[in-house]
């Protein structure tokens, strides 16, 4: 069939996949993981700060957080990445040269922080008022009550949403390619795209896609795991453990 | 001796209870005046029960006493000293509070619920805090639940833990805000028994309650609140059998 052989040539050219595989593993995967992990860490830290500011009782702290969130959630990611990545590079050039990586990570983190801030805020706000009241009645200050009692509970509740945001970051890390990367800095998408252009078929991009799935699909299952644990509760004491045993027995019966 | 008490738990504890005196407390949420000049004096080691219809300001009064909500006017004296000027966090360390919905920290174990404030506020070491917490759990009869999460306990057990958590801080006064209202009927007695024991052991207590039996048997004095003021107060005998104000008589006819 003509159509099949065309599709086969376009997507399943094993030769070009095999040729790009080592680079994909050693350069692309590593760089994607570095970009994603760095912006997950930085984005989560910034997001927590944004959330705490947004929940502040002082208006002059709340407002900047809200404006920040509106801006970075409202702009297309690619536009933010170009504005920050290219726009700030004449300034940062003095510190780390023309390397686009730090600014790319910064841009990704700033975007992520807007979303993560909202996730944390909704989680923290969902914690019953009585929790802070009880902490305060024991003599905790507002700050330590939030830090030790309210925020840990709020964060637990939004773990699924948080991991979803991490998945989005893994995918968005491909956008730093627009900042122009050195050969050694290329991430999965860029390597796939370069190889696709050279070979005249899309098989290397398909391979890049598979690599993305290898990262994101386990994360999706992590979301489901957290979600399940949040709904069913974490087994901790004897009675809880017993519940787990009973459930496992029930599952065994089904098998 | 009150028949409600269990006499097997906290009675042996010595408490450094202080007197509590509330004078002319006023508090408004916006234009809604919730407290309009409340007076209440509880001598050290005595128990006052506050009764009254919903919305009469009973719970707000407790929150004004430990400044969870700052009163607009009036004074609160603990052990004869005015406490409205100083640091509210310091004040709350001297006053224990027990809530209708227990408000245990669900992400901590029962033991950690008690050790957390001991560690962070009293600055006890891990071992010291653990020992003190287990001692309190023993007093409320729940030392076997130390490693459990609050969510796996019955309401009555959770409230006992909440009382232990408050007592572990060695408060001078205990406030109870409808401590048994959220409990299943069969669990109420155990918690009330514990509270009665605590009263007998000489803790100064202010108990907001709908349990008239408890007020009658355990309280040294009963204050009836309505529309943000104490309408009538006196010894239980007088309140329950010789009420003077029509509003109190009407209230009692509805709840008894």
pLDDT of res. B136: 94
Nearest to A153 among B107, B117, B120 (CB): B107
Report pLDDT for A148: 95
Distance from the Cα of B169 to chain A's closest Cα (Å) equals: 8
A11-253 topology per CATH: MetI-like fold (1.10.3720)
B211, B201, B218: which is closest to B12 by C-alpha? Answer: B201
Tell me the domain boundaries of chain B. 20-253
For residues A237 and A234, give the distance between their C-alpha atoms in angstroms, rounded to a whole number. 9
Which of A128, A137, A152 is the closest to B66 by Cβ? A137
Q: For residue B17, report the phi and psi dihedrals to the nearest 5 degrees.
A: -75, 145
Task: Say how many residues make up chain B.
Answer: 256
- Please give the distance of CA A78 from its chain centroid, rounded to a whole number: 16
H/E run at residue A251: helix A238-254
For the cut 80, the answer to whether the pLDDT of residue A118 exceeds it is yes
pLDDT score for B250:
95
* Closest chain A CA to residue B114: A138
Sorted by where each begins, the domain ranges of chain A are 11-253
pLDDT < 70 regions, chain B: 1-14
Q: Rounded distance, CA B105 to CA A130, Å?
A: 10
Q: Are B192 and B214 in contact (CB under 8 A)?
A: yes
| Cross-chain residue pair B166–A130, CB shorter than 8 Å | no
Global pTM value: 0.83
Q: Is B152 on the interface with A (CB under 8 A)?
A: yes
Q: Which residues of A touch B (CB under 8 A)?
A: 128, 130-131, 133-141, 144, 148-149, 152-153, 156, 233-234, 236-240
Per residue in A128-184, pLDDT tens?
999 999 999 999 999 999 999 999 999 988 989 999 999 999 999 999 988 888 888
Chain B interface, best mutation among A137, A146, A155, by max B CB count within 10 A: A137
B109 in contact with A, Cβ within 8 Å: yes
pLDDT confidence of A251, banded at 50, 70, 90? very low
Instruction: Identify the pLDDT of residue B73.
Output: 96
Helix crossing, B110-120 with B155-168: angle to 10°? 20
Among the partner-chain residues A136, A148, A234, the one whose CB lies closest to the CB of B120 is: A148
Backbone angles phi, psi at A239, to 5 degrees: -65, -40
Answer whether B66 touches A (CB < 8 Å): yes
* pLDDT given at position A235: 52
CA pair distance B66, B44, nearest whole angstrom? 17
Percent of chain A exceeding pLDDT 90 equals 59
| pLDDT the model gives residue A238 | 42
pLDDT at A1 (0 to 100): 64
The Cα–Cα gap between A173 and A190 comes to 11
Class of domain B20-253: alpha beta
Question: Which 3 state secondary structure label does DSSP give B217?
Answer: helix
Which are the contacts of B188, defined by CB distance < 8 A and separation ≥ 6?
B156, B180, B211
Give chain B positions within 8 Å (CB) of A236. 109, 147-149, 152
Q: From the list B92, B120, B148, which residue is nearest A136 (CB)?
A: B92
Does residue A250 have a pLDDT over 70? no
**Cα A121 to Cα A66: distance, rounded to the nearest angstrom:** 11
Q: Report the residue from B103, B121, B148 with minimal CB separation from A134.
A: B103
A192 with A201: CB under 8 angstroms? no
**CB–CB contact A236 B109 (8 Å):** yes
Scanning every residue of chain B, which has its alpha carbon at the shortest distance from the alpha carbon of A147? Answer: B120
- Mutation target to probe the A interface, by most A beta carbons within 10 A, among B69, B70, B91, B103 is B103
CA distance B225 to A114: 49
- How much is the CA Rg of chain A, to the nearest whole Å? 23
pLDDT, tens digit, 9 for 90 and up, residues A178-230: 888 888 888 999 999 998 888 888 999 999 999 999 999 999 898 888 878 77
Query: Helix crossing, A89-96 with A101-125: angle to 10°?
Result: 110
Among the partner-chain residues A131, A139, A237, the one whose CB lies closest to the CB of B117 is: A139
Mean pLDDT of chain A: 87
Chain B contact set for A148 (CB, 8 A): 116, 120
Question: Whole-angstrom Cα distance, residue B31 to residue B249?
Answer: 29
Chain B residue with the nearest C-alpha to that of A145: B117
A123, containing H or E segment: helix A101-125
What's residue A200's pLDDT?
84
Q: Write out chain B residues lying below 8 Å of A151, CB-based.
A: none
Q: How far is B64 from chain A (nearest CA, A)?
A: 11
- Please give the residue of chain A at the shortest CA–CA distance from B99: A134
Separation in Å, CA of A122 to nearest CA in chain B: 18
């Amino acid at each position: 069939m003509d159509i099949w052989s065309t599709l086969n040539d376009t997507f399943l050219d094993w030769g070009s996949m095999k040729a790009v595989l080592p680079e994909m593993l050693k350069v692309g995967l590593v760089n994607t993981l570095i970009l994603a992990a760095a912006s997950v860490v930085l984005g989560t830290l910034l997001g927590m700060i944004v959330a705490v500011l947004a929940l502040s009782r002082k208006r002059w702290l709340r407002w900047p957080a809200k404006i920040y969130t509106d801006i970075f959630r409202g702009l297309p990611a690619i536009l933010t990445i170009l504005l920050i990545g290219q726009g700030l590079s004449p300034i940062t050039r003095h510190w780390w040269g023309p390397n686009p990586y730090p600014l790319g990570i910064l841009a990704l983190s700033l975007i992520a922080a807007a979303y993560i801030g909202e996730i944390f805020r909704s989680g923290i706000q969902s914690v019953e008022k009585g929790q802070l009241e009880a902490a305060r009645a024991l003599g905790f200050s507002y700050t330590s009550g939030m830090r030790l009692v309210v925020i840990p509970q709020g964060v637990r509740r939004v773990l699924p949403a948080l991991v979803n945001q991490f998945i989005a970051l893994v995918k968005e890390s491909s956008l730093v390619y627009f900042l122009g990367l050195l050969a050694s800095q290329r991430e999965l998408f860029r390597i796939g795209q370069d190889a696709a252009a050279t070979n005249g078929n899309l098989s290397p991009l398909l391979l890049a896609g598979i690599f993305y799935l290898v990262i994101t699909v386990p994360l999706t299952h992590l979301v489901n795991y957290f979600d399940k644990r949040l709904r069913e509760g974490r087994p901790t004491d004897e009675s809880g453990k017993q519940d787990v045993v009973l459930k496992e027995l029930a599952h065994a019966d089904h098998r | 001796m009150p028949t409600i008490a269990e006499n097997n738990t906290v009675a042996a504890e010595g408490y450094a209870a202080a007197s509590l005196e509330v004078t002319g407390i006023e508090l408004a949420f916006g234009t809604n005046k919730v407290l309009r000049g409340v007076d209440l004096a509880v001598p050290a080691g005595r128990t006052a029960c506050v009764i009254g219809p919903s919305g009469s300001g009973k719970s707000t009064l407790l929150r004004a006493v430990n400044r969870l909500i700052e009163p607009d006017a009036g004074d609160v004296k603990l052990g004869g000293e005015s406490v409205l000027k100083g640091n509210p966090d310091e004040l709350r360390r001297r006053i224990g509070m027990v809530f209708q919905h227990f408000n245990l920290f669900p992400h901590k174990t029962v033991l950690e619920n008690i050790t957390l404030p001991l560690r962070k506020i009293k600055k006890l070491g891990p071992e010291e805090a653990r020992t003190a917490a287990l001692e309190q759990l023993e007093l409320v009869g729940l030392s076997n639940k130390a490693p459990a999460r609050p969510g796996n306990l019955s309401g009555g057990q959770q409230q006992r833990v909440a009382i232990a958590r408050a007592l572990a801080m060695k408060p001078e006064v205990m406030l109870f805000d409808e401590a048994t209202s959220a409990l299943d009927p069969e669990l109420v007695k155990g918690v009330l028994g514990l509270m009665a024991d605590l009263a007998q052991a000489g803790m100064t207590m202010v108990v907001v309650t709908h349990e008239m039996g408890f007020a009658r048997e355990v309280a040294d004095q009963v204050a009836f609140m309505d529309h943000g003021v104490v309408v009538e107060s006196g010894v239980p005998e007088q309140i329950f059998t010789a009420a003077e104000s029509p509003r109190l008589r009407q209230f009692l006819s509805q709840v008894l």
